[in-house]
Amino acid sequence: MSMCSSSSVSLSTKSWIVHSIVAGAAIAAAIGAGAYLGRYRKFRSRVVGIIPARYASSRFEGKPLVNILGKPMIQRTWERAKLASTLDHIVVATDDEKIAECCRGFGADVVMTSESCRNGTERCNEALQKLDKKYDVVVNIQGDEPLIEPEIIDGIVKALQAAPDAVFSTAVTALKPEDAFDPNRVKCVVDNRGYAIYFSRGLIPYNKTGKVNPQFPYMLHLGIQSYDSKFLKIYPELQPTPLQLEEDLEQLKVLENGYKMKVIKVDHEAHGVDIPEDVEKIETLMRERSIS
Ligand SMILES: *[C@@H]1O[C@H](CO)[C@@H](O)[C@H](O)[C@H]1NC(C)=O
Ligand SMILES: *[C@@H]1O[C@H](CO)[C@@H](O)[C@H](O)[C@H]1NC(C)=O
pLDDT reported for residue 82: 97
Give pLDDT, residue 37.
52
Q: Is residue 30 part of a domain?
A: no
Identify the pLDDT of residue 269.
Answer: 82
Select from 113, 117, 121 the residue to mutate for testing ligand 2; criterion: most ligand atoms less than 8 Å from CB: 121
pTM of the model: 0.84
Taking the C-alpha atoms of residue 165 and residue 153, their distance in angstroms, rounded to an integer, is: 20
Residue 51 lies in a domain: yes
pLDDT number for residue 4: 32
Looking at ligand 1, which residue's alpha carbon is closest to its atom 6? 213
What is the structure's pLDDT at 23? 47
CATH code of the domain containing 183: 3.90.550.10
Q: Among 118, 232, 237, which residue has the most ligand 2 atoms within 8 Å of its CB, making it the best to mutate?
A: 118
Distance 177 CA to ligand 1 centre (A): 15
**What is the model's pLDDT at position 28?**
55
Domain presence at residue 36: no
Asked if the structure places residue 137 within a domain, the reply is: yes
Is residue 20 assigned to a domain?
no
User: What letter represents residue 102's amino acid?
Assistant: C
pLDDT value at residue 89: 97
CB-based burial label for 114 (10 Å; 0-12, 13-18, 19+) = exposed
Q: Please report the atom of ligand 2 found closest to the CA of residue 251.
A: 13
Give every residue of the chain whose pLDDT is below 70, as ranges.
Answer: 1-41
d(CA 125, ligand 2 centre) in Å? 11
- Give the number of domains in the chain: 1
- Cα three-residue angle 82-87-90, rounded to 5 degrees: 60
Q: Please write the tens of the pLDDT for every residue from 114-151.
A: 988 888 899 999 999 999 999 999 999 998 889 999 99
208 lines ligand 1 (CB under 6 A): yes
* DSSP conformation class of 179: G
Distance (Å, rounded) from C-alpha 40 to C-alpha 85?
20
pLDDT digits (tens, 9 = 90+) for 70-81: 999 999 999 999
CA distance linking residue 106 with residue 75, whole number of Å: 7
Instruction: Tell me, yes or no, whether 165 lies in a domain.
Output: yes
Does 7 reside within a domain?
Answer: no
Taking CA atoms only, the protein residue closest to ligand 2 atom 3 is 236
For β-strands 137-140 and 47-53, DSSP reports them as: parallel
**Exposed e or buried b per residue across 34-72, where buried means at least 16 C-beta atoms within 10 angstroms of its C-beta:** beeeeeeeebbeebbbbbbbbbeeeebeebbbbebeebb
Q: How many residues does the chain have?
A: 292
Q: Give 38-57 pLDDT, tens digit per residue.
A: 555 689 999 999 999 998 87
With the most atoms of ligand 2 within 8 angstroms of its CB, the residue from 119, 124, 248, 251 to mutate is: 119
Which range marks the domain in which residue 200 is found? 42-286
247 burial level (CB within 10 Å; 0-12, 13-18, 19+): middle
Domain for residue 144, yes or no?
Answer: yes
Reported as half-sphere exposure (CB side, CA atoms, 13 A), residue 290 has a value of 4
